[in-house]
């Protein structure tokens, strides 16, 4: 190997130079092509605690499955008598564990769900404590399982602490408590001009933002927004367009004195090749004080990034296939079996 690379290096000087040139000048993309992405990369810091919560979610589902399916062998591993009562307890722990996993994964507020996991660990520890106290049980095994649960508990507590004290995402790290910031992105398989034009018509928003009831254009730079709030209420505010660069970006914010403070920017960039348009949204909300305000806060505090991501995915569906795809389970707001029914669609 050494010889062949030596002979290549020491061989034809011309081809060597051509190669260097290719690497240095021809192959390397123009800085103007990469700079915008380097800037994005420098700013982006991911969603920190959220992904740790996800990991625990997966973990919970894994253990829950084992406890549920193999309650018998599981009791043996844990070191308690493999009788009906212990199996039943084991199954119960399994159900609880899966419940945690799913709620951590799907809950809009991971912090609460993770704390409920900590409570669950305490239940496990209490049960294992009883198993330890019972002289019939094999102590060694129970100790092993206890150590296992303890380790997970420590991880749970750490995660819950992280999520509780931290703003929803690391992207918010510098925000004061009242402001929620988030940013998300998607690639839409249509040319920039089309995606920009669609977004530019604010009245299209309710077609892909499910928390909006309507947006009406009220003047050249002004629009009136109406959003759904819990219990059949709604919230309304006016917004102004603060910047509009065709095929590049649109910024808006709610007008002074609105019940709801929010502002946002959407940027459009041609995706490489024929991949369509890269759409990036940044949003900022200040849930206002007062009764109405707290309702809106409830709406928006639900992991705001997730809602933006859903909206963007719906934008992609509306633009690429003309409507939002629904399944038997997702036509309902909460968990629902994948089974047809006669109820109306709630998105």
Partner 1 sequence: MKATCWMGPNKMEVTTVPDPKILNQGDCIVKITSTAICGSDLHLYNAFIPALEPGDVLGHEFMGEVVEVGRNVNRLEVGDRIVVPFPIACGVCRACKNELFSVCENSNPNAWLAEKLMGHSPAGIYGYTHLLGGFAGGQAEYARVPFADVGPLRVPESLSDDQVLFLSDILPTGYMGAEMCNIQKGDTIAVWGCGPVGQFAIASAYMLGAERVIAIDRFPYRLDIARERLGAVTINYEEVDSVPDVLKDLTAGRGPDACIDAVGVEGHSHGLFYVHDRAKQMMRMQSDRPIALREAILSCANGGTVSVIGVYGGLIDKFPMNAVMNRSLTIKTGQCHVHRYMKPLLDRIEKGEIDPTFVITHHLPLDMAARGYEMFNNKEDNCEKVVLKA
Where on the chain is the footprint of partner 1 (CB under 8 A)?
A: 54, 57-59, 61-63, 65-70, 73-74, 77, 98, 101-102, 105-106, 148, 187, 189, 275-276, 306, 309-310, 313, 316-317, 320-331, 335-342, 345
Residue 91 near residue 68 (C-beta atoms within 8 A): yes
For the record, the structure tokens of 32 come out as 């103007």
Question: Considering the complex, what minimum distance in angstroms separates the CB of residue 123 from partner 1?
Answer: 16
* Least spacing, CB of residue 56 vs partner 1, in Å: 11
Burial 49-72 (b: 16+ CB within 10 A, else e): bbebbeebbebbbebbebbbebbe
Closest distance of CB 14 from partner 1, Å: 32
Nearest Cα to 240, choosing from 225, 258, 222?
A: 222
Cβ 217 to partner 1 shortest distance, Å: 27
| Least distance from partner 1 to the Cβ atom of residue 205, Å | 20
Judge contact between 223 and 168, C-beta under 8 A.
no
**Residue number, 70 or 212, with CB nearest to partner 1:** 70
The torsion defined by the Cα of 115, 121, 125 and 128, in degrees rounded to 10, comes to 160
H helical segments located in 167-223? 192-200
Looking at beta carbons only, is 251 or 330 nearer to partner 1? 330
Shortest distance in whole angstroms from residue 295 CB to partner 1:
24
Closest distance to partner 1 from the beta carbon of 326 (Å)? 5
Q: How far apart are CA 321 and CA 13, in angstroms?
A: 56
Give 60 or 172: the residue with its C-beta nearer to partner 1: 60
Cα dihedral sign, 198-201-204-209: positive
Phi, psi of 284, deg, nearest 5? -140, 130
Nearer to partner 1, 9 or 338 (CB): 338
**Cβ closer to partner 1: 10 or 340?**
340
- What lies within 8 Å, CB to CB, of 118 at 6+ separation is 153, 156, 157, 160
Task: Copy the structure tokens of residue 206.
Answer: 């309710």
Residue tagged 């003047």 (tokens): 219
Nearer to partner 1, 167 or 276 (CB): 276
Nearer to partner 1, 10 or 322 (CB): 322
Q: Is the CB of residue 297 less than 8 Å from the CB of residue 261?
A: no
| Residue placing its CB nearer to partner 1 in the complex, 294 or 309 | 309
Q: Measured from the CB atom, is 159 or 239 closer to partner 1?
A: 159
* Contact criterion met (CB below 8 Å) for 159 and 56: yes
Shortest CB 345 distance to partner 1, Å: 7
Find, among 116, 117, 137, the residue nearest to 128 by Cα.
137
Q: For residues 323 and 339, what is the distance between their CA atoms, to the nearest angstrom?
A: 21
Do the Cβ atoms of 149 and 124 come closer than 8 Å? Answer: yes
Report in angstroms how near the CB of residue 58 gets to partner 1 at its nearest: 6
């Amino acid at each position: 190997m050494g010889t062949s690379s030596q002979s290549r290096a020491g061989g034809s000087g011309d081809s060597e130079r051509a190669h260097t040139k290719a690497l240095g000048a021809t192959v390397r993309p123009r800085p103007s092509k990469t700079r915008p992405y380097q800037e994005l990369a420098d700013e982006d810091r991911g969603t920190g605690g959220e992904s740790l919560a996800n990991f625990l979610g997966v973990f919970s589902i894994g253990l829950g499955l084992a406890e549920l399916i193999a309650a018998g062998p599981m009791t043996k591993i844990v070191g308690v008598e493999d009788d009906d009562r212990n199996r039943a307890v084991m199954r119960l722990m399994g159900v609880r564990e899966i419940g945690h996993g799913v709620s951590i994964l799907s809950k809009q507020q991971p912090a609460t769900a993770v704390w409920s996991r900590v409570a669950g660990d305490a239940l496990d520890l209490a049960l294992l404590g009883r198993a330890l106290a019972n002289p019939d049980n094999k102590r060694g095994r129970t100790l092993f399982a206890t150590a296992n649960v303890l380790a997970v508990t420590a991880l749970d507590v750490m995660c819950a602490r992280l999520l509780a004290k931290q703003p929803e995402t690391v992207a918010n790290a510098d925000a004061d408590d009242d402001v929620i910031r988030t940013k998300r992105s998607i690639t839409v398989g249509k040319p920039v001009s089309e995606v920009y034009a669609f977004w530019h018509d604010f009245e299209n928003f309710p077609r892909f933002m499910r928390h909006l009831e309507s947006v009406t254009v009220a003047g050249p730079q002004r629009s009136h927004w109406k959003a759904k709030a819990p219990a059949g209420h709604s919230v309304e505010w006016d917004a102004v367009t603060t910047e509009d660069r065709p095929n590049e970006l649109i910024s808006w914010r709610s007008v002074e004195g609105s019940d709801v403070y929010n502002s946002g920017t959407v940027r459009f960039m041609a995706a490489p090749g024929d991949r369509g348009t890269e759409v990036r949204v940044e949003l900022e909300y200040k849930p206002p004080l007062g009764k109405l305000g707290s309702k809106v806060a409830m709406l928006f505090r639900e992991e705001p990034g997730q809602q933006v991501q859903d909206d963007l995915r719906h934008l992609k569906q509306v633009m690429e296939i003309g409507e939002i795809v629904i399944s038997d389970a997702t036509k309902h707001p909460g968990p629902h079996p994948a089974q047809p029914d006669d109820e109306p669609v709630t998105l």
